[in-house]
Structure 1
């Protein structure tokens, strides 16, 4: 940048000014988050017993001991693995079903108008209310939990793709067709870019629903899984084991969300849908 006197301002001064405008850096943000967690844990440790009954919320130290027992026991890892498999298979199956239905009914408008009220009616039923029905069909094994998870995910993916196809700009399709484009050109240049964002938004919304469905099914009837252990801990009034199971679920949720976020960024980058940064800033 050139000043009014014609002297070029130092680059370091410009960098310092930019940092001041940005406010807190990422390092300070991370430190603040850690500080908040430490304060909450300290208050929890101090208030448990004198102010809040210890049997209801336990203490962070006792939760840490229970979590260590889970992570160092074969039974704990068996439960974690069972729940992970159920979530992964249920999520994948739900994405597949929702994608196929969304593309089919979005591509054929007549079929969409005929079946949409029926799908909306089924979607209105709480998925956890379907759990006893799935348990009758598939038993207390993994497939009943997988089906519950897949049902919740499938509806989210279906509606995002179905509505995305309905909102696809017909003018763009006609332009591609006028230019001699075939069906695969319309798919590559119009349909996929239009559906990319809603599809990955559906994946991020469906991840927690898959976890909710699996844990709900394990609560109702199961012989293994994190939800099964959470239910047993609640019946035994073991608050520390209950919080340890919740920590495991939080970690699983963060891992799934992180994987979906990276997949979203990679796919959008490959499709050229990420806003490009300016190669150089304009100088004064």
Structure 2
């Protein structure tokens, strides 16, 4: 099986913890690996996003991003040398875990009480917050400045609707993906895009938008990214938490933060990061 090193986004230095990843099919979906559970052998199937720069990205045959780096570190600590990455869109994450198509999910997966009814979570390994992405010359400094402005809203996303509920004067413009909003914000056809600040930082750091877009830096929610796993698997949860703690204590967590978020000038909230892991249940 062909192996490759997992590179950090925007030319950042590859973390020493990177593991060999499996080859991919023509449609960008990871292939290969074992069909066994995370407890079996040296293989593990990990769900990530494939379209979030700085977090989980599959591009030109390579996987990169903060979620990828954390996933690889945890896999190594679990004794897994054969990692298969599986594309995990938000609406499919619970099903992927329940059906055994993935063993773990690292995909900007916020821990919520509703989701805990279907899956268990290790972590959190990062605390993000909802923010705004605007043009660099914009005078918008927070959601209160959006009255009468055009805000990108992605179908089935709650982020923009949360702003609309608090600031009724906002004009929501609906698209099917966040990436379709970027040029419109740069060109002034839209005033802002909203979702997690980590995701926004990744977009701002892309070469096509660097210097043209900025994250406002005024969060108005708390999103605790957890590691999704099969409900009730306390043993695996505890092993993942042990690995996450080691990553923080060793300094590798901070290296991953700097490599993936630094190019966008994104400042991590040190009041909430790195977070302490929750007890497994």
Range of TM-score over shorter length? under 0.3
Larger Rg: 1
- The structure that is strand-richer by fraction is 2
Q: State TM-score, norm by structure 2.
A: 0.25
- The structure that is helix-richer by fraction is 1
